[in-house]
Amino acid sequence: MAVMAAESRPWPAPTAAGPISTTVRLPGSKSMTARALVLAALADGPSVIEAPLQARDTTLMSAGLRALGVAVDTSADDRWRVEPGPLRGPATVDVGLAGTIMRFLPPLAGLADGPVEFDGDPHARNRPLRPIVEALRALGVRIEAAPSGGLPLTVHGTGLVAGGEAVVDASGSSQFVSGLLLSAPRFAKGLTLRHEGPPVPSAPHLRMTTHMLRAAGATVDDSVPETWVVEPGALHGRTWTIEPDLSGALPFFAAAMVTGGTVTLAGWPAQSWQPVEQLSRLLTALGGEVTRTAGELTVRGAGTLRGITADLSEVSEMTPVIAALAALADGPSELRGVEHIRGHETDRIAALATELAKAGAGVTEFPDGLRIEPRPLHATSFATYADHRMAHAAAVIGLTVPGIELTDVGCTSKTLPEFPELWAGLAARS
Ligand SMILES: O=C(O)C1=C[C@@H](OP(=O)(O)O)[C@@H](O)[C@H](O)C1
Ligand SMILES: C=C(OP(=O)(O)O)C(=O)O
């Protein structure tokens, strides 16, 4: 599997001949796999991760943990084994372009006995990191960071993090909070973390963090808004079963929406820690029908899409594909509340504004989102900016607009290396 950022791979998006109706099986959630790996690495015994995501972000996370002394056996595709060991430096961690690695591993590196260097893809150096670095410093960790406050950085681990109280402005990314909370049970005094600043995005990802911490045996109090208290204590090894990735499934559901077909995601759990309610509401507002039956999540498209006005802050990583649907709707849409996605894999607001306009849509850019006026779309070279979800957006538009060529489909390896083949197979089901 390619872990290096793959070479640019131009790709003509396949068009659909008619409604796409099929069932898809997709790999595990990136976010759950990342959390399971970190919690397993910090546990007091071995863990098993069933149905993990095998993609660049999680492969690099495994490699980073191995460099720190954790035995991560990924040889069996759907059953990884993690055997924690004393965390050690010196070590080097390649974060790729993964927010989860650059925000989840520095707190853990503070617990290592020696220096741990972090760097990643060129654009990773532009992603915000300062708030978590400053919070870690306040908790007793010595860190040398670039003048920007971010990568490249070195965490000078001493084997012990004092912990205690810290304040963070997590308006730029919920991952600042998640990263600190995940390692906090192992801090000598635990952690009392308070957010100060504009609202924290991606609330469902914070709930996933506190849920998984508790499942590993941690005591977490999140009853006071914007404050999290994690008691010091052991984390236990366990078996984690990873849910299929809902954000990764979105382009496949979108295929049903734009072609008037039906796409079913197999293996969907009865109770999920991903934002399935929020996604259902959005797709329903756009004109789709979402149903859940035992073990399945199904989206049915009506063939026409309605424009929407929506605050996407809770599901911000879904913005590119929702924007693609908006560009194909029968009326204008306004997608707001996602200023922080300018710090995602690329500045997603600027990238979407440029590429959707190139394809013929009317687009107005706001600091925190986009207004999209659908117009007849046409063939174009759609730049993907090393961003998997820009590639997904282009592929969705390409189903109904002939001649959409992605400048690079290789970037989909971040979360789904098999995307090009799965997508071609999907289009062939029309
Ligand atoms: O914790 C996580 O696993 C994630 C949190 C979110 O980050 P932001 O809060 O930075 O958007 C999300 O967009 C990202 O894809 C994954
Ligand atoms: C924002 C995303 O990723 P990351 O975990 O790298 O922040 C994403 O996957 O859309």
Nearest ligand to the CA of 104 is 1
> Ligand 1 centroid vs 174 CA: distance in angstroms?
6
- Eight-class DSSP state of 200: P
Across the strands, what pairs with 363? 372
Beta strands in 254-345 (DSSP E): 262-266, 289-293, 296-300, 309-311, 333-336
Q: Is the pLDDT of residue 5 over 80?
A: no
31 among annotated binding-site residues: yes
Q: Is the pLDDT of residue 153 over 60?
A: yes
Ligand 2 pocket mutation, candidates 94, 105, 344, 347, criterion most atoms within 8 A of CB: 344
| Pocket lined around ligand 1, Cβ cut-off 6 Å | 31, 34, 99-100, 173-175, 178, 201-202, 205, 316-317, 340
- Rounded Cα–Cα distance for residues 16 and 255 (Å): 9
- Rounded Cα–Cα distance for residues 314 and 336 (Å): 11
Quickly state the pLDDT bin for 6 (edges 50, 70, 90).
low
211-266 pLDDT, tens digit per residue, is 999 999 999 999 999 999 999 999 999 999 999 999 999 999 999 999 999 999 99
Q: What is the mean pLDDT of the chain?
A: 97
Which of residues 1 and 36 earns the better pLDDT score?
36
Contact 404, 379 (CB under 8 A): yes
The complex's ipTM works out to: 0.99
Contact 244, 28 (CB under 8 A): yes
**What was the pLDDT predicted at 110?**
98
Quickly state the pLDDT bin for 210 (edges 50, 70, 90).
very high
Nearest CA to ligand 2 atom 8: 317
- The active-site residue out of 134, 243, 317, 339 is 317
Q: Does 389 contact ligand 2 (Cβ within 6 A)? A: yes
Nearest to 264 by CA among 23, 429, 21, 19: 23
Q: How many CA atoms lie within 13 A of 359 on its CB side?
A: 33
Quickly state the pLDDT bin for 303 (edges 50, 70, 90).
confident
pTM of the model: 0.97
Q: Is the pLDDT of residue 171 over 50?
A: yes
- Rounded Cα–Cα distance for residues 410 and 408 (Å): 6
Verify whether residue 231 is a known catalytic residue.
no
343-362 pLDDT, tens digit per residue, is 999 999 999 999 999 999 99
Contact 384, 394 (CB under 8 A): yes
> Ligand 1 centroid vs 98 CA: distance in angstroms?
10
21-71 pLDDT, tens digit per residue, is 999 999 999 999 999 999 999 999 999 999 999 999 999 999 999 999 999
For domain 11-26+244-427, the question of CATH label 3.65.10.10 is answered with: yes
Q: How many CA atoms lie within 13 A of 424 on its CB side?
A: 6
Average pLDDT over residues 96-101: 98
**What was the pLDDT predicted at 375?**
96
- Specify the ligand 2 atom closest to the Cα of 97: 6
Quickly state the pLDDT bin for 1 (edges 50, 70, 90).
very low
Give me the residue spans of the domains in the chain.
11-26+244-427, 30-241
Average pLDDT over residues 394-412: 98
Nearest ligand to the CA of 180 is 1
Q: Does 340 contact ligand 2 (Cβ within 6 A)? A: no
Quickly state the pLDDT bin for 430 (edges 50, 70, 90).
confident
Contact 423, 11 (CB under 8 A): no
414 among annotated binding-site residues: yes
The total number of residues shown for the chain amounts to 430
SS3 150: coil
Average pLDDT over residues 74-90: 97
> Ligand 2 centroid vs 128 CA: distance in angstroms?
12
> Ligand 1 centroid vs 205 CA: distance in angstroms?
7
171 among annotated binding-site residues: no
342 among annotated binding-site residues: no
- Rounded Cα–Cα distance for residues 178 and 207 (Å): 9
Average pLDDT over residues 166-179: 98
In CATH, the architecture of 30-241 is Alpha-beta prism (3.65)
- 11-26+244-427 shares its CATH topology with 30-241: yes
- Eight-class DSSP state of 199: P
- Rounded Cα–Cα distance for residues 247 and 425 (Å): 19
